[in-house]
Amino acid sequence: MTTRYDNSLNGACDCRTLDPDRLRAQLESGASLAGLAAEITRSRPHMFSATAVFISRQQLERMTAIIAAVESVVRVPGYRAAVLQRAPEMARMDPGPRSVFMGFDFHLGPQGPQLIEINTNAGGPLLNVALARAQQVCCAEVGNVLSSPTDLEKIDAAYVDAFFRDWKLQRGDVPLQRIAIVDDDPPNQYLYPEFQLFSRLFRSHGIDAVIADAASLEWRGGGLWHAGQQIDLVYNRLVDFYLEAPAHAALRAAYIAGAVVLTPHPHAHALYADKRNLVLLSNPDQLTQLGVAPALCADLKAGIPATVSVSPERSAELWARRRQLFFKPARGYGSKAAYRGDKLTRRVWEEILAAEYVAQDIAPASERLVRLDDARADLKFDIRAFVYDGCVQLLAARLYAGQTTNFRTPGGGFAPVFIAP
């Protein structure tokens, strides 16, 4: 599963390939974005790493195969029934859209890529396009043999096309006029700069766009409104996956009524991103009982770390094995309230038992050598595949130190991914 380049490059090459001037040009591609790069540097100094990550062609192919296997399983009626029966009623409704920017997160290990989780509100797709376009040639020994897994000239159009496709799946040939990019208190979100980039991208393709706080939306007259304008489609960046918070009541009502196209939507979260789904996806016996073909079961067993539900009945067993396990909340996101078992205290363990958690066999993250101002450091990394309708649109890495991914690590942050032959 390795090549002569992938692991050796990540552990030996410490080239800084990011060109800050190119990055600024990418981030500030319109007058409305002037000063964005400086603001990111000031307020989010560890958003972007200056170091690229290398993977092999075989690793790319294996990740693609695992994603395809998951997509095939999600279409199996027995699987859908099993995961939807525990979802809220509003999430059982299929509105039609496929949901933009599904995030399949991988660790790369000796056994090949391991899918550690799936997210339906994956952040970073447009920021990572800007980052990938801002790279210089790597060291002379390898720079001429590296390639990007993405056609960066066409990716903007592919992103916009995904929104149009989701729109047409629910609305047909009705014109799409206005998109709202929605989150809670958007200006204070870490990835707010990406909202600004998406707003410009939509406008450049003839679609009016607004960045909106979910609490400012209004449900009236059979439509969803913001600041006196009706919203056609919501690009959903909320982490309240089933729109249960009071501040999301207007959006929830519009979604249930079919009055707005929401992407990604609760149905997709229930099918893909609830962490309890990993229990099924990593268990070939249960998948077989649900009607999944043996070949798919084998692919997923090899590509997803074994995962079990945490329950009081399993308490003693899981506590004894905790050092080999990673604990995640069922509706978790962004590594919040996730714990490596070897770091658990008894107090935290009791909190886990009182909530809904899964325990996943640890698939260690790979490491990448980075050069800081006066030192070198080995940082962990994961690979995120941004996926639409089963197709990988972009790969990006996140470099970090600590238990879980974060944007607090010097030398860390988003990093572009190159294919080494």
Q: Based on the fold, state whether residues 251 and 345 are members of the same structural domain.
A: no
In percent, the amount of the chain with pLDDT more than 90 equals: 86
* pLDDT for residue 141: 55
State the pLDDT confidence band at 335, using cuts at 50, 70 and 90. Answer: low
362, 385, 406: which is the final residue of a domain?
362
- pLDDT of residue 82 exceeding 50: yes
Domains contained in the chain, number: 2
Termini Cα distance of the chain: 12
How far is Cα 358 from Cα 20, in angstroms, rounded to an integer?
41
- pLDDT of residue 398 exceeding 80: yes
* pLDDT for residue 136: 77
Please write the tens of the pLDDT for every residue from 84-118. 999 999 999 999 999 999 999 999 988 899 999 99
Q: Based on the fold, state whether residues 229 and 258 are members of the same structural domain.
A: yes
336, 362, 388: which is the final residue of a domain?
362
Please write the tens of the pLDDT for every residue from 261-290. 999 999 999 999 999 999 999 999 999 999
> How far does CA 207 lie from the centroid of its chain?
25
289 in any annotated domain: no
| Whole-number average pLDDT of the chain | 94
Q: Based on the fold, state whether residues 274 and 351 are members of the same structural domain.
A: no
Q: Based on the fold, state whether residues 320 and 406 are members of the same structural domain.
A: no
- pLDDT of residue 329 exceeding 70: yes
Q: Based on the fold, state whether residues 156 and 228 are members of the same structural domain.
A: yes
Contacts of 20 (CB under 8 A, 6+ apart): 37, 134
- pLDDT of residue 143 exceeding 70: no
Q: Based on the fold, state whether residues 111 and 69 are members of the same structural domain.
A: yes
Q: Based on the fold, state whether residues 255 and 141 are members of the same structural domain.
A: yes
pTM of the model: 0.95
* pLDDT for residue 7: 67
Structure tokens at 106: 């991988």
CATH for 347: 3.30.1490
Contact 271, 136 (CB under 8 A): no
How far is Cα 20 from Cα 354, in angstroms, rounded to an integer?
47
Contact 118, 272 (CB under 8 A): yes
Q: Based on the fold, state whether residues 324 and 373 are members of the same structural domain.
A: no
The partner residues of 366 in beta bridges, in order of sequence, read 381
* pLDDT for residue 112: 94
**What are the respective helix, strand and coil percentages of the chain, to the nearest 5?**
40, 25, 35
Q: Based on the fold, state whether residues 181 and 317 are members of the same structural domain.
A: no
Contacts of 125 (CB under 8 A, 6+ apart): 101, 159, 194, 386, 393, 394, 396
* Domain limits for position 68: 6-278+365-420
* pLDDT for residue 2: 44
How many residues are there in the chain?
Answer: 421
In percent, the amount of the chain with pLDDT more than 70 equals: 95
